[in-house]
């Protein structure tokens, strides 16, 4: 099977600090769905940044859509980035644009006709239950509403690759189910998907998804069992 992204012995350090990612070698198969599991600080966001080309590795080799991106000039990256939808952990909505206009952005950038934009955006906002909030700017939306706008914006253009950083972190379980269903539908249409989370339960909600487990900056055996939970808290007994 061909791969959309391939890492070979990739490492990343910020400045002169220690490596936060090391010896990463894996491939994302075309049309696959992967859950990147790791605790807080494990390096999930850093790994996603390498995948969506916002960060270059300090060593190793990365290929994206069959281009060796590690040696590509900076000017060549935007064309590849346009094929990648990203749900950022901190949403990154455009503050002066309404929910509608934020979601419309990828379609307008792609030069799609305005009547088509309207139809698609309305449909997408309905899917994430934000029809009645479409005129609101991000500042007056709740965290969960902003997250749903961010997801809608990332998926609306049917990207070849979708990268989502804790995309269900701020929403209730019912809406989380709805978003996961949306990701599965997109995956059926051919989009390769990577979802980073610290929530091991998410894997069981995505039948067919493969797991990548990140710990201490490196990928462990994805077939390995989930680490045992810590011993239960036992308060001191009164003497
Ligand atoms: N821009 C940066 N400069 C320096 N260190 C950074 C930078 N970004 C992340 N780090 C460090 O890299 C390590 C991994 O961080 P990262 O944000 O990738 O983890 P994470 O698994 O996404 O965590 P969380 O689940 O809490 O978001 C941390 O030790 C963090 O402090």
Residues 208-229 pLDDT 10s: 899 999 998 999 855 443 344 4
48 three-state secondary structure? helix
Most ligand 1 atoms within 8 A of CB, residue of 11, 16, 37, 46 to mutate: 46
pLDDT tens by residue, 168-203: 988 898 889 989 999 999 999 999 999 999 988 888
**pTM (predicted TM-score):** 0.90
Output the residue whose Cα is nearest ligand 1's atom 18: 43
Sheet holding 84-87: strands in order across?
A: 84-87, 161-165, 192-197, 33-37, 210-215, 218-220
Output the residue whose Cα is nearest ligand 1's atom 16: 43
From the CA of 45, how far away is ligand 1's center (Å)?
7
**What ipTM does the predicted assembly reach?**
0.97
pLDDT tens by residue, 48-78: 999 999 999 999 999 999 999 998 999 999 9
Q: 37 pLDDT exceeds 90? A: yes
pLDDT tens by residue, 148-169: 999 999 999 999 999 999 999 8
Most ligand 1 atoms within 8 A of CB, residue of 10, 21, 44, 218 to mutate: 44
Residue 93 structure tokens: 């909505």
Residue 166 structure tokens: 């804790």
Ligand 1 proximal residues by C-beta, below 6 Å:
14, 20, 38, 40-46, 89, 198
């Amino acid at each position: 099977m061909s791969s959309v992204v391939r890492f070979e012995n990739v490492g990343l350090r910020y400045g002169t600090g220690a490596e936060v990612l090391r010896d990463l070698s894996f491939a994302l198969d075309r049309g696959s769905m992967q859950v990147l599991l790791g605790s807080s600080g494990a390096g999930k966001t850093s790994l996603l940044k390498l995948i969506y080309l916002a960060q270059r590795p300090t060593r190793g080799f990365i290929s994206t859509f069959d281009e060796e991106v590690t040696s590509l000039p900076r000017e060549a990256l935007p064309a590849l980035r346009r094929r990648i939808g990203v749900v950022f952990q901190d949403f990154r909505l455009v503050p002066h644009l309404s929910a509608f206009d934020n979601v419309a952005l990828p379609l307008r950038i792609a030069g799609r006709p305005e009547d088509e934009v309207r139809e698609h955006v309305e449909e997408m906002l309905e899917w994430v239950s934000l029809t009645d909030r479409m005129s609101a700017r991000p500042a007056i939306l709740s965290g969960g509403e902003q997250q749903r706008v961010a997801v809608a914006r990332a998926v609306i253009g049917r990207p070849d690759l979708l990268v989502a950083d804790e995309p269900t972190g701020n929403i209730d379980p019912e809406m989380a189910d709805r978003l996961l269903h949306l990701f599965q539908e997109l995956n059926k249409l051919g989009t390769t998907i990577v979802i980073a989370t610290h929530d091991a339960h998410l894997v069981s909600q995505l039948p067919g998804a493969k797991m990548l487990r990140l710990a201490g900056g490196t990928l462990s055996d994805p077939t390995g069992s989930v680490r045992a939970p810590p011993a239960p808290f036992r308060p001191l007994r009164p003497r």
